[in-house]
Chain A
Amino acid sequence: MGNTKKCLIVGLPSAGKSTYIGAFWAIEKDGGTNHKLTCKEYPSDTTYLDALKKSWLEQTIVDRTLNIEPQEIRLKLHSESTGNTLELHIPDFKGEIFQRILSNNITENVTHWCNEADCILYFIKYANEDILQDEIPQPTTTIELGQREPTAMQVTDISEWTQNVMLLKYLHTQIDSNIPLAICISAWDKVNTELSIESWIKSKHPFLYNFIQQHFSNVRYYGISAQGFEYKDDMFEKYQKLTELKQRAYVYTDKISHDITEPFEFLINQ
């Protein structure tokens, strides 16, 4: 199918993949936004999308314990710039599945999708600077000898920025390095900068930037705030108005845009 593109959405647990998809469906499903992409028609089954949308509209965190299983999403999107309509296939894997790759537990379906992907939307959760434990003031109490834990390292002991580089390294071995890659830093509302997103990554996370520039040739960077802000009960009504105006979620390159279809538009028009 010439008008079909397969997009792999990748990210570690809580990287913001599901929140973005929920916001995307809530904002774009009925068109009329003048955004770069619009949904052409409803997919045949929107149970999963609707569950994510509900959380986003109600300003609640997607409950990971709810029986909302990720599944393949098929969206028929219309590009305003090219006039083309195409179907986007998105397998929404759990972040844990990607994290297990780092422990050498690789799901066959992930490998399959990596080999099939036409483009990749990669989410990285914004986190504080990478610091060593001994730079943090330690509690004065010491752990008794009998309470000591074994020294087996868990994957979660690895710095989250390094986990992302490891995951990108794995992807690099599985995909064509020329395919479009959108790197999205989520929870961008927590970042206070006047730099462009690319300059910000280059200055704040230079090793991640070095790695990406060395290994992927068709990359674009985005800051994304799908939530728009930290959810607070006393701000609900104010935020709800922004939600209705479709001015809550935004993407950032060198300025804020409420057209959150921009990363997809880059990926599918390459």
Chain B
Amino acid sequence: MDNQDTNDLLLDTPKEVKSDSKANIIEKFVTSKESPFYTDALNESNINNIITNEKPELIVLFGLNDLGKTTFVGSLYHLLRVNGEMDNYNFINSDTFAGFERRIFLRKCSIDGRTNTNRTLRSENPFLTLHMAHKTTLEKRLIVLSDRAGERYRDYISKDEELLKDKTIKYADRILLFVNAEKLIGRSYSNMKDELRTLLRRLKEKDMLPILAAKYIIFNKYDKVVDVENQQFKEHKQEIVDLFEEMFEEKGISQHCINSKNLSDNTELEELFSILIQPLNKKRVDTSLDWVKTAIKKNKA
């Protein structure tokens, strides 16, 4: 290296990478200009560029705004980055570190008062990935989380056009159905239930409900419920369960009462995370529903 080159080291001028020495598609999209950070969250197009030998497992976080979906994701990621493992699986990589960190950042903002919202922004890319490896068998798993802004789901309530753009719900391997437990009592309950019914019905009419997916009803913010033994609370909670089971035509959907914000000795939350990290027991009946490949086909079409 001559002196000119040495001086160039000091210039510090940001330039785009021109090297194609390693043809890694993921790296191309995670460093693209549309992503402000390296390894930011992914969108519907670039999620399909993930290269893996395993079929990715898609977990959709479903629900309107202010239900704690982002906090839930932030808590899962935080436990993985601190412990490095969960339930016999080591956390070994992610394509979306910055995307996860952004969710933790939004969570921090809500606490220190820097912003009046801790919600995922409408424009945020929704997809996050976790690469896990079994401690003894070394079996590798790719988990894709869809953490879409609640406002998007709100759009689906009234607009078919927006609803039909969503390519992920139908192909979910697992769907987490978020409910704000705090609102099961009070003035806003009726509208909450009605909005949920409308959203589910619209999805069902368009054949977009993931009937074969594993389903989990998540009663979040359970710590804020004043009296869980209150008769009306119990009735409303059951009405919501009945609504989900009616729409999905399935009885006995598992229920989880959690507080996704608390990470100290939170057994219920950790048990749910453990369930999600474990592979699904049953194989999907319809093998054509390999979500990534299906999405690629649709994009090509």
Q: With CB as the reference atom, state the residue of chain B lying closest to A91.
A: B9
A171 CB → nearest B CB, Å: 11
Contact status B114-A151, CB under 8 Å? yes
B59 CB → nearest A CB, Å: 20
Residue of B33, B82, B264 near A104 (CB, 8 A) is B33
Given contacts A104-B37, A165-B97, A174-B19, contact A145 B116 (CB under 8 A): yes
B202 CB → nearest A CB, Å: 31
Given contacts A129-B82, A149-B114, contact A162 B97 (CB under 8 A): yes
Contact status A151-B108, CB under 8 Å? no
B133 CB → nearest A CB, Å: 7
Contact status A138-B31, CB under 8 Å? no
Residues of chain B lying within 8 A (CB to CB) of residue A103: 36-38
B1-19 vs A, Cβ < 8 Å mask (1 yes, 0 no) = 1000110111011111111
CA distance A97 to B113 in the complex (A): 31
CA distance A93 to B35 in the complex (A): 25
A24 CB → nearest B CB, Å: 19
Q: With CB as the reference atom, state the residue of chain B lying closest to A212.
A: B92
Residues of chain B lying within 8 A (CB to CB) of residue A94: 12
Given contacts A106-B15, A115-B19, A133-B108, contact A151 B81 (CB under 8 A): no
CA distance A151 to B103 in the complex (A): 11
Residue of B24, B33, B93 near A211 (CB, 8 A) is B93
B residues 95-154 near A (Cβ < 8 Å) are 97-98, 101-102, 104-109, 111-117, 133
Given contacts A97-B12, A135-B263, A173-B27, contact A111 B6 (CB under 8 A): no
Contact status A132-B104, CB under 8 Å? yes
A134: interface (CB < 8 Å): yes
A191: interface (CB < 8 Å): no
A241: interface (CB < 8 Å): no
Residues of chain A lying within 8 A (CB to CB) of residue B5: 72, 109
Contact status B84-A207, CB under 8 Å? yes
Contact status B263-A89, CB under 8 Å? no
Contact status A166-B18, CB under 8 Å? no
CA distance A118 to B125 in the complex (A): 37
Per the CB 8 Å criterion, the residue count for chain A at the interface is: 58
Contact status A169-B107, CB under 8 Å? no
Contact status A109-B8, CB under 8 Å? yes
Contact status A214-B14, CB under 8 Å? no
Contact status A206-B102, CB under 8 Å? no
Given contacts A170-B38, A206-B83, contact A148 B114 (CB under 8 A): yes
Contact status B101-A100, CB under 8 Å? no
Contact status B17-A111, CB under 8 Å? yes
CA distance A107 to B15 in the complex (A): 5
Contact status A207-B81, CB under 8 Å? yes
Residue of B92, B101, B106, B112 near A158 (CB, 8 A) is B101
Given contacts A100-B14, A106-B16, A210-B92, contact A138 B9 (CB under 8 A): no
Q: With CB as the reference atom, state the residue of chain B lying closest to A141.
A: B113
CA distance A133 to B191 in the complex (A): 34
A215 CB → nearest B CB, Å: 8
Contact status B133-A214, CB under 8 Å? yes
B74 CB → nearest A CB, Å: 8
Residue of B12, B39, B112, B263 near A169 (CB, 8 A) is B39
Residues of chain B lying within 8 A (CB to CB) of residue A91: 1, 9
Contact status B31-A162, CB under 8 Å? no
Contact status A138-B93, CB under 8 Å? no
B230 CB → nearest A CB, Å: 28
B105 CB → nearest A CB, Å: 5
Contact status B37-A151, CB under 8 Å? no
A46: interface (CB < 8 Å): no
Residues of chain A lying within 8 A (CB to CB) of residue B112: 133, 138, 143
Residues of chain A lying within 8 A (CB to CB) of residue B117: 151
B185: interface (CB < 8 Å): no
Given contacts A72-B9, A130-B81, contact A214 B98 (CB under 8 A): no
Residues of chain A lying within 8 A (CB to CB) of residue B1: 72, 89, 91
Residues of chain A lying within 8 A (CB to CB) of residue B91: 207, 210
Residue of A69, A130, A138, A150 near B10 (CB, 8 A) is A69
CA distance A169 to B97 in the complex (A): 10
Residues of chain B lying within 8 A (CB to CB) of residue A145: 116
A101: interface (CB < 8 Å): yes
21 A–B contact pairs at CB < 8 A?
A70-B9, A71-B6, A72-B1, A104-B35, A107-B14, A109-B5, A109-B8, A109-B9, A142-B113, A149-B115, A158-B97, A158-B105, A162-B97, A166-B38, A169-B39, A174-B21, A174-B22, A207-B80, A211-B92, A214-B92, A214-B133
- 10 tightest A-B contacts by CB? A206-B84, A105-B14, A207-B84, A133-B108, A143-B113, A158-B101, A151-B115, A153-B105, A108-B15, A214-B92
